Amino acid sequence: MTRTTRLLSLVAGVALAAFAGSAQAQIKERNIRVSNGINEDHPVGNGVAKMKACMAEKSGGKLKLQAFWGGALGGDLQATQALRAGTQEMVITSSSPLVGIMPELGVFDLPFLFTDEKEADAVLDGAFGKYIADKLPGFGVVNLAYWENGFRNLTNSKRAVTKAEEMTGLKVRVMQNNIFLDSFKTMGANATPMAFGEVFAALETHAIDGQENPLVTIDTSKLYEVQKYLTLTRHAYTPFLVLYSKKLWDQLSAEEQTILGDCAIVGRDEERKVSRELNDKSLANLKAKGMQVSQVGADELAKMRDSTQAVYQRHQATIGKDTIERIQADLAKLRGK
């Protein structure tokens, strides 16, 4: 190696070290609180653990993630409002409670929208997901990634439901937004909006007959203790959003923002993987715990789909015609239509 080459190598090494040092200097010691409405043994717990480890590694231990489970910092909507006010850093929440803040999020609540998880991933991680995420800062939050809440299914304590008309009269808890209310009323249920943290007690006291959630949530929240019948309706697929306070996000350095964004994706991939692995296990566990599981036949499922198409029309003005048409166009491309 010539003297000139050695000198160039030394200069490059010093520059690289200076850049690394500068990047680390842009990372401050931070304890970032993240709120969840569900329990830690849900796949979100696996995603948070992976995200936490990723943040520690990339920040040299400076960025710490402190998780609060089971609505310890308030319900999803309350926690999201805290983000908007800048008094809390993060929340991992279903999109559904937030439609009152950003009506376009209601598109994910439309009944029977996605056929399977592959479609959902393609839409959420693609142009449409970015279209929604780009709107969120205007409402005071930043979306770091879409995690999986999953396909939702019906449970109740009254009777097995295998036909659309068997839903008639059931008092079913739904999330606190008008689209879920409308969908279940359209299918004949007595839809009752309620925060998730109140659901177990309401089922236990028979204030309500049933509820609807993904299988993993039904399992990890031990709803089998207060529900006898499970129907695999797969009537909606709702994502989790990993939201950060826009006010506090703007106080982060570019390096810190990059780490959070990258690690949210790492957490997303783990959370989705675990969620899908646990889905079948949860179904088996719910059966083992004594739940009676029913399928909806193709003809009856078609009736449910047909009856709820009116929901798309009734909520078009609120969600936005362009938003609905965008997601339907993306789905048509995926389905080769």
Taking 50 as the threshold, does the pLDDT of residue 19 lie above it?
no
242-293 per-position pLDDT tens digit = 999 999 999 999 999 999 999 999 999 999 999 999 998 999 999 999 999 9
| pLDDT range class, residue 158, cuts 50, 70, 90 | very high
| pLDDT the model gives residue 119 | 95
Would you say the C-alpha torsion 158, 159, 165, 167 has a positive or negative sign? positive
- SS3 labels along 195-234: CHHHHHHHHHCCCCCEEEECHHHHHHCCHHHCCCEEEEEE
The pair of three-digit structure tokens given for residue 322, joined into one six-digit string: 């362009």
| pLDDT range class, residue 18, cuts 50, 70, 90 | very low
What φ, ψ does residue 120 adopt, rounded to 5°? Answer: -60, -45
- SS3 labels along 52-73: HHHHHHHHCCCEEEEEECCCCC
Q: Tell me what the mean pLDDT of segment 305-328 comes to.
A: 95
Taking 80 as the threshold, does the pLDDT of residue 160 lie above it?
yes
Arithmetic mean of pLDDT over the chain: 91
192-220 per-position pLDDT tens digit = 999 888 999 999 999 999 999 999 889 98
Q: How many Cα atoms are found within 13 Å in the side-chain-facing hemisphere of 61? A: 0
The pair of three-digit structure tokens given for residue 311, joined into one six-digit string: 């929901």
SS3 144: strand
Q: Tell me what the mean pLDDT of segment 185-195 comes to.
A: 93
Q: Tell me what the mean pLDDT of segment 99-122 comes to.
A: 94
Q: Tell me what the mean pLDDT of segment 56-76 comes to.
A: 93
Q: Rounded to an integer, what distance in angstroms lies between the CA atom of residue 315 and that of residue 301? A: 22
| pLDDT the model gives residue 242 | 98
Which of residues 33 and 96 earns the better pLDDT score? 33
Place of tokens 């309620």: 194
Q: Tell me what the mean pLDDT of segment 99-112 comes to.
A: 93
Q: Tell me what the mean pLDDT of segment 174-201 comes to.
A: 92
Q: Tell me what the mean pLDDT of segment 110-137 comes to.
A: 96
Q: Percentage of residues in the chain with pLDDT exceeding 90?
A: 77
| pLDDT the model gives residue 37 | 87
| pLDDT range class, residue 17, cuts 50, 70, 90 | very low
3-state helix, strand, coil in the chain (%, to 5): 55, 20, 25
Q: How much is the pTM?
A: 0.83
What does the domain layout of the chain look like in residue ranges?
28-334
Q: How many Cα atoms are found within 13 Å in the side-chain-facing hemisphere of 312? A: 15
| pLDDT the model gives residue 3 | 59
Q: Tell me what the mean pLDDT of segment 78-103 comes to.
A: 93
Which of residues 19 and 57 earns the better pLDDT score? 57
Q: Percentage of residues in the chain with pLDDT exceeding 70?
A: 93
Beta carbons within 10 angstroms of residue 5's beta carbon: 9
Which one is the CATH code of 28-334: 3.40.190.170, 3.30.70.120, 3.40.50.720, 3.20.19.10?
A: 3.40.190.170
Q: Rounded to an integer, what distance in angstroms lies between the CA atom of residue 143 and that of residue 123? A: 15
Taking 60 as the threshold, does the pLDDT of residue 325 lie above it?
yes
**Nearest partner of 168 among 304, 312, 295, 299, judged by Cα:** 304
| pLDDT the model gives residue 14 | 47
